[in-house]
Amino acid sequence: MTDSILYDGLLLAGVDEVGRGPLAGDVVVAAVILDQRRPVDGLADSKKLSASRREKIFPEIISSASCYSLGRASVAEIDELNILQATLLAMSRAVDGLSIKPEFVVVDGNRCPDWVWPSQAIVKGDTKVPAISAASIVAKVSRDKEMQVLDQVYPGYGFAAHKGYGTRQHLMALKHLGPCPEHRRSFRPVAELFTLAERVSVE
């Protein structure tokens, strides 16, 4: 982990997203400013942690961080803007929502939004910078909980299990049930089903 070396003395916010790839649900971004006086043990890329480990670390991050914020882009915004632009929008919303304004922002990936913040994009930043690792965990746990709620609202799709990703189970449910309002119409497997439904209705 490198943020204490590269960004020493700066009030640093880490940013990471979850949900670019799924066929359903919002894309969710977390921005986290860690309190260097209250380090959190076990920070890592959320994808490398078990669900139970993420659930354990999540409240530790929330209670010890100087502040955090969630930003999102809705399914409608994803379909209108495309997933990249919607993700950048959600990143801006997350940082804008911080109660403490950062002096520098580090973003997981290879691109930062066009915003006012001095910033740097870091490929695999969630394995290199603790603030980004914390953001990845906060975003992942938050979105997973939202997908569990969607599973209750739209039963049959298996959202609690696959979190909206295009698994075999999800694709089979889509073919059987058709898309629900939380499905991204601009993503090909969903778009094809909408097109098919429109053709059938016309015929």
Q: How far is CA 151 from CA 12, 30, 91, 112, 168, in A?
A: 36, 22, 26, 32, 17
Extended beta strands in the chain, E state: 12-18, 27-33, 67-73, 104-108, 119-122
**How many angstroms separate the CA atoms of 108 and 173, rounded?**
32
Q: Does the structure show a pLDDT above 90 at 163? A: yes
CA nearest 107: which of 132, 84, 86, 130? 132
pLDDT at 193: 83
pLDDT band at 45 (very low <50, low <70, confident <90, very high): confident
Q: Is 179 helix (H, G, I), strand (E, B) or coil?
A: coil
Domain boundaries along the sequence of the chain:
3-153, 159-202
Domain 3-153 coded CATH 3.30.420.10: yes
Q: Does the structure show a pLDDT above 90 at 72? A: yes
Q: Does the structure show a pLDDT above 90 at 74? A: yes
Span 95-148, pLDDT tens digits:
999 999 999 999 999 999 999 999 999 999 999 999 999 999 999 999 999 999
Hey, what are 148's tokens?
A: 């569990």
